[in-house]
Amino acid sequence: MSDLTMGVMYGVATLLIMFSGMPIAFALGTVAVTFMYFFMPASSLDTVTQNVYEEMASITLLSIPLFILKGAAIGKSPAGKDLYSAIHAWLHKVPGGLGIANVFASALFAAMAGSSPATCSAIGAAGIPEMRRRGYSPGFAAGIIAAGGTLGILLPPSITMILYAVASEQSLGRLFLAGIGPGLLLVGLFSGYAVYRARKEYRMALALHQDGGVKSAYLDDENFTFAQKVEMLPRVLPFLVLLTGVMIALYGGFATPSETAGLGALLALVLIAVVYKVWRPKDLSPLLMSTIRESTMLLMIIGMSLLYSYVMSYLQISQNAAAWVVGLHLSKWLLLLVILLMVVVFGFFLPPVSIILMTAPIILPPLKAAGFDLIWFGVVMTIVMEMGLIHPPVGLNIFVIKNIAPDIPLKDVVWGVMPFLGLMFIAVLLLCIFPGIATGLPDFSMGNR
């Protein structure tokens, strides 16, 4: 059987099983084991569990359940609501300050939790009702929360970046640092759009009221005294100290990523016990069960994805696909465009975890041969996968928003996220023109490689 036929069969089998509705982890495992049975030595089936274990026996992957526990501890507490309320109080006088507050709160919460759905849920539960009460259109309110939630896979600690570091054999610390600049860039772009959109909606509300229409809540003044602003800080500052401490421990060389994850999880549990009195078994049970479910699901996907990639490599599918891409002799930037378009298409159906582990063996060798910095590409690929979190048909964050704001029509949510997709595309272009946005901080902190 030719290599082309084998590759086509592997791809078609994967698509058919995934579209059958089977969970992703079991779909990938089924394809891998089936091809092992028919096209690999019979003894290879005896090593399935060993292969999965060896692929997952990485000290870097150990940090994933710990970061999930840290995120669950913060996400299941009122920390997100308090963080949002404090930022809103300090920014309420800024034009579009409520929208900016949601972007900033999403960024800070994402940096603490490392999860896009958790960020959407925690900030959106408080932010969407407040924005709608203040007159913001439902689509805009939903869009800014959905887009802000995507920062959870870009700003460190990002579980997606942990997996990319494992798949690409790159430094996790350098990759985390590379995500900070682009993350701040997106925060700036989102905030700028929030100001523009809020001013536009304000002018429309004012014109309607002057024409004798109903007075929108946009036109109501809201004031916080300095004492009220200061009063909101004590509940927020401990979590900001936690974020700062984790970053210093990781980037200062005081702890490995796994040790940092363990430290962060422990401190998060201590903080919610002290600040929110969440320490009784009945209080801790939901967040521990959430951690177990999410960790199990994610690690199952990782294990089966790695087995899938192992079979693909054994059958020479990934090597031949990479050689074929190189053999096209595409220009450097056209090669990047083709690969990113492929990632976009995969994003219609697959979560970032599966995209990274399935495509890494194919796309990384040609990119490296073309002279691309794989750390820089990891950041660009992450932003493109962020777009997959808010565009149909899957758009995980869209459905998280529908869950917390079921009265907002799905059509409004989809149209609300479209401007943010455009802003992410602009961010990717800026990273291509100015790669130092991503590589500057790790090069400065850790030296040029």
Asked whether the beta carbons of 113 and 71 are under 8 A apart, the reply is: yes
Segments in 370-409 forming alpha helices (H): 374-390, 396-404
CA distances for 414 relative to 140, 350, 440, angstroms: 10, 18, 34
User: Which pLDDT band, with edges at 50, 70 and 90, does 210 fall under?
Assistant: low
What's the confidence (pLDDT) of residue 394? 64
Q: Percentage of the chain with pLDDT > 90?
A: 11
pLDDT in tens, 379-395: 999 999 888 888 776 67
Count CB neighbours of 248 within 10 A.
13
pTM of the shown model: 0.81
Instruction: Look up residue 402 and give its amino acid.
Output: K
Q: Extract the tokens encoding 74.
A: 């913060």
Residue 311 has pLDDT above 60, yes or no: yes
What's the confidence (pLDDT) of residue 187? 92
Q: Extract the tokens encoding 52.
A: 């999965």
* CB within 8 Å of 367: residues ≥ 6 apart: 335, 336, 339, 374, 377
pLDDT in tens, 335-383: 898 888 888 877 776 778 778 877 888 888 888 888 899 999 999 999 9
pLDDT in tens, 171-191: 888 898 899 999 999 999 999
Query: What would you measure as the largest C-alpha separation in the chain, in angstroms?
Result: 80
d(CA 360, CA 416): 32
CA distances for 259 relative to 60, 74, 249, angstroms: 10, 19, 9
pLDDT in tens, 18-47: 778 788 788 888 988 899 888 888 777 777
User: Which pLDDT band, with edges at 50, 70 and 90, does 219 fall under?
Assistant: low
Residue 413 has pLDDT above 60, yes or no: yes
Ramachandran assignment for 382, one of left (phi > 0), alpha (psi -120 to 50 degrees), beta (any other): alpha
User: Rounded to the nearest 10 degrees, how much is the dihedral formed by the CA atoms of 4, 10, 11, 17?
Assistant: 160
User: Which pLDDT band, with edges at 50, 70 and 90, does 449 fall under?
Assistant: low
d(CA 400, CA 445): 36
Nearest to 103 by CA among 79, 131, 75, 78: 131
| Domains in the chain: boundaries | 57-295+386-446
d(CA 33, CA 56): 17
